[in-house]
Structure 1
Amino acid sequence: MTQSRRMSLIEAISNVALGYGLAVATQIVVFPWFGLHPSLGENLTIGALFTGISLLRSYALRRLFERWW
């Protein structure tokens, strides 16, 4: 069974949203262990930056694999 474009979009959005939430929650817990105490706004911004980088990485790898196979 193949996945529709709509379901692929829903899956991708869900994956990114969950990843972003998990990243921010992890930062809030882990950063203080290293003496870092960013505000909630800073944590949200850091999470957004890493999420954007992750999206670019994922897209580039997908395109690379599409070219190879």
Structure 2
Amino acid sequence: MSLVEAIANVAVGYAIAVLTQIIVFPLFGLQVSLGDNLAIGGLFTIASIARAYTLRRAFEAFRAHGAGTITAGQVARRRRSF
């Protein structure tokens, strides 16, 4: 269900982004085709996914470090060093 939730979150975010662009761009004198709006929304969606992933990994690293636990990546690095 986590995957379904993640996909739904991205799909809803993309739809909201495109609808917002369609409404807001003309207010600023920007005339953009539907295809361009879809492409712009897609680029912002990719950026948003990358941002969310990076922040999630950073906070997980902070949590693991603060709790004194070892992450899977640290275990793999330690195994390679022996």
Which of 15, 37, 42 does residue 31 from structure 2 map onto? 37
**Structure 2 residue 15 is the aligned partner of structure 1 residue 16:** no
Aligned match of 1:50: 44
Percent identity reads 63
**CA RMSD, aligned part only?**
0.3
Unmatched 5+ residue regions in structure 1?
1-6
Q: After the TM superposition, list the runs of 4 or more consecutive aligned residues in structure 1 that deviate by more than 3 angstroms.
A: none
Residues matched between the structures, number? 63
Task: Give me the TM-score of the superposition, normalised by structure 1.
Answer: 0.91
Task: Give me the TM-score of the superposition, normalised by structure 2.
Answer: 0.76
Cα distance in 2, alignment partners of residues 55 and 14 from structure 1: 13
Shift of 1:21: 0.2
1:49-68, aligned counterparts within 5 Å? 49-68=43-62
